[in-house]
Amino acid sequence: MRLFSAVLPPEGAVRELAAEVAGLRTLPGADRLRWTGRADWHFTLAFYGEVHPELLPELCERLARAARRHPPYPLRIAGGGRFADRVVWAGAEGGRPAMGRLADSASAAARRAGVPMKEQRPYAPHLTLARNRTAGVDLRPFVAGIEGFRGQEWTVGELVLVRSHLPVDGVAGQRPRYETVAAWPLGNRDGRLRSKGGPQDS
């Protein structure tokens, strides 16, 4: 199964960003981009790729442990940018150092669980808003549009393991479907989830 760990923005933050994105979607060329859905918005912490189901219990146990070691931290969706001419994204502000440390732990947890991790790129927290399918759209106006955005702050309190179901081959315009497998509270040192951190208990 294809898995990644993530921080999910709360409903209020998603609503604000959706209002901002509605503006971006009126810009010339917007209809040629493939926009992510608000239900899918997330900040990836670590991408695991295909994980053998046998590794899942160990991965969950180690992610639970990682979550316990990190206290909750503040975050807001703010600013944005692009990856070359491929992706427009919204950025994060506030607890970026804490988020980076959590991302490192989320990677290490998987490595220790035996998940074959590819070489990790330097961590760059981003929330993908749109992908450029045709490579013909100039993404700079979209970046200019999101640059000034500064959403409400919230306290990140959970590390979430997400499964990505890829679209069926050949179905144009379909997006991956994301499913929460499990979530663990940050900084929860009372061991409440220790014996039942598996996906069936999420």
Q: Footprint of ligand 2AM on this chain (CB under 6 A)?
A: 4, 44, 47, 87, 128, 164
Q: The tokens of 124 are what?
A: 């760059």
> How many whole angstroms separate alpha carbon 3 and alpha carbon 50?
7
Q: What amino acid is encoded at 68 in this protein?
A: R
> How many whole angstroms separate alpha carbon 121 and alpha carbon 190?
33
- Closest approach of Cβ 61 to ligand 2AM, in Å? 22
- Closest approach of Cβ 169 to ligand 2AM, in Å? 17
Nearer to ligand 2AM among residue 7 and residue 30 (C-beta): 7
Residue 1 DSSP class: -
- Closest approach of Cβ 47 to ligand 2AM, in Å? 3
- Closest approach of Cβ 168 to ligand 2AM, in Å? 16
Nearer to ligand 2AM among residue 28 and residue 122 (C-beta): 122
> How many whole angstroms separate alpha carbon 202 and alpha carbon 200?
6
Q: Are 34 and 129 in contact (CB under 8 A)?
A: no
Q: How many C-beta atoms surround the C-beta of residue 68 within 10 A?
A: 21
Nearer to ligand 2AM among residue 47 and residue 73 (C-beta): 47
Nearer to ligand 2AM among residue 44 and residue 105 (C-beta): 44
